[in-house]
Amino acid sequence: MKRDLSSIIDKKISFASKRAHILNECKKSKNAYCGKSLTVQPTEDPEEEFPTDVKRFDQVDFDVAIVKKRNGEKIPCIINKGDTKKKPLSCWLPPMEVKYSDLGPNGNLGRYKYTKDPQKARFTCSLLASAPPELNHLKEKFEADGEKALEFVESLCNKAMGIAYNDEDTWKNVKKDYEDVQSFIESAKHSVIKRDGDDILYLNLTRRLEGFRGEPNRPTLWRLKEDNSYETIDPKFIPKGSMLAVQIKFRAFKTPDGGYGMSGDIGDHILVVHKPAKKEEKSTLFDVPYIPFD
C-alpha cells in the first residue's frame, strides 16, 4: 500500500504525526506500507499484562543522581537507589481525585492555541488528595494516602534541588544568584506540585501525545475486576471526580528566564479506581419532564 503522506494529513502537522497515522491505517487494514525509509508489516498486538514491576510510592528506595543530557548539561535525576544506569524513577501514586484531565485518545490536542501541533500536545492529569462524596466510606483512607503522596513528591523535589545546588557542575548560571542551598530550594518553581486559587495543593502531571519517534504515546488505562484481575479500558475521557492511581516519573527542567525545578510525567500505566456515575440530564429551561404528545 503506497500513499502520499501529504494527501492524508495537512502539511502543517508534523511528520511524526503523519507517520503515526500511516502506521495506524496499516494496522486497521492489515496491509503493509513500504516507503523509502519505512517498512511496516501488519502484526497482531500481544495481550498486555498489568505491570507488577513498578513499586508504590511508599515502597521505593530512592536516590538523586547527577546525570548528563545529550547536550552536555548536567541535571539532577531521581532514581532507584543503587541503579548504576541512573534511569528515572517510576512509581505508583495512590488513588487520588481528578481535579481535571485530558486523558482521551487525543489528549489536549487542539484545545489550546499552543497545542494544535501534535508534537506540543500533551496528556494531562491534575490530582487532589481527596475523594468524591460517593466514596465517603473510603474518604479518610484516600485523603491520608493522598497527603502522604504530596509530601513524598515535595520531599523528592527538594532533595533533588539540594543535590543540584551542591554539585559544582550543575546549573552554574542559576545558582550564582542564591546565597545558600535553602534559598535555592525555596525558589524552585516545580510544575509537578501546585496550589490552586483556594490554596489547595495538587499534583500536575503531563505526558507527550507523541513519542520521540512519532508513535502514539497514550498511557494504558486499566480497571480492577471483581475477581481481582485487571483489564484494559479505552475511555473517551476521564471526568472530574474520578479516582486514579497514576504512575509518575520526575524530570528536572531549567528555563531561559532562570526558572528551574522538577516536573512530573505520567508513566506508562494508569489504574482507574472509580468513575462517577453519569448525571441525569436536567430537563429543559423550564424544569419540566418530557411529555409525549401527537
pLDDT in tens, 14-56: 555 655 566 566 555 655 555 555 555 555 666 788 998 999 9
Contacts of 183 (CB under 8 A, 6+ apart): none
DSSP conformation letters of 189-256: --SSEEE-TT--EEEEEEEESB-TTS-B-PPEEEEE-TTS-EEEE--S---TT-EEEEEEEEEEEE-T
Mean pLDDT of the chain: 87
pLDDT confidence of residue 10: 44
Q: What are the structural domains of the chain?
A: 5-40 (no CATH), 62-274 (2.40.50.140)
Residue 24, C-alpha cell as written in the block? 495506524
Name the nearest CA neighbour of 49 among 269, 244, 273.
269
Q: Could you tell me what percent of the chain has a pLDDT over 90?
A: 69
DSSP one-letter string for 60-110 = --EEEEEEE-TTS-EEEEEEETT-TT-PBPEEEPPPEEEEEEE-STTTTTT
Q: Are 252 and 164 in contact (CB under 8 A)?
A: yes
Average pLDDT of the residues in 148-169 = 97
Q: Is the pLDDT of residue 246 over 50?
A: yes
CB neighbours of residue 136 within 10 Å:
9
Query: pLDDT value at position 92?
Result: 98
Its pTM stands at 0.80
Which amino acid makes up residue 137? H
**Pick from 263, 223, 226, 264: which is nearest to 242 by CA?**
223
The separation between the first and the last C-alpha atoms of the chain, rounded to the nearest angstrom, is 54
What are 219's three cell numbers?
498511557
150 with 93: CB under 8 angstroms?
no
Across 104-117, average pLDDT: 87
Q: Is the pLDDT of residue 267 over 60?
A: yes
The predicted structure's pLDDT at residue 134: 93
